[in-house]
Amino acid sequence: MCRQAHQAVCQCLEIWGIKLQMRKKKIITKSEKETFKLGEKMVQEIKKPVVLGLVGDLGAGKTQFVKGLAKGLGIKNSITSPTFVVLRKYELKGKTENFVHIDCYRLTNPEELLDLGLDECIKEGKSIIAIEWADKVKDILPKDTVWIDFKQGEGNERIINI
């Protein structure tokens, strides 16, 4: 992982502990592999169950980041964006019991996600929940959602604002 991204990860400790008083951090990755590694490294900074709202255009790096999160959590399954099934849940060992990966790209309204049980996942407080296209359902997400914005830069560069 590039040095700048590593430093930014270290500076995000309080954000991942859901203390959102800090300013946003801008991280630039230079490849899909670095975006993946950033997600993998971020897992070390997550202190408790959390909802991560991932936003950005197609191909901006959201799924690569989620794949890295999954690997960092010890998930061995192949991670693909749940575009057609919307939600996939993976069991974890430890204090956090589940990793929930959601893709809202195809949703037409937020209630569809509630029908799939999102509110129960949030209320139980035992899951790390990563939601791609979270801006489509922002009205039903908790106020302490950690928002991560992905933008395409030059070539394979990704600009990630946490």
CB neighbour list of residue 160: distance below 8 Å, 6 or more residues apart: 26, 27, 28, 29, 35, 38, 61, 65, 148, 149, 150, 151
The pTM assigned to this predicted structure is 0.83
Domains and CATH numbers, the chain: 3-161 (3.40.50.300)
CB neighbour list of residue 132: distance below 8 Å, 6 or more residues apart: 54, 62, 63, 66, 81, 101, 102, 103, 104, 105
| Residue 72 DSSP SS3 | helix
Tens digit of each residue's pLDDT, the chain (162 residues): 455 544 555 555 444 443 434 457 899 999 999 999 999 999 988 878 999 999 999 999 999 999 999 999 999 888 887 777 788 999 888 767 899 999 999 888 888 888 888 888 888 888 999 999 999 999 999 999 999 999 999 999 999 998
pLDDT at site 142: 94
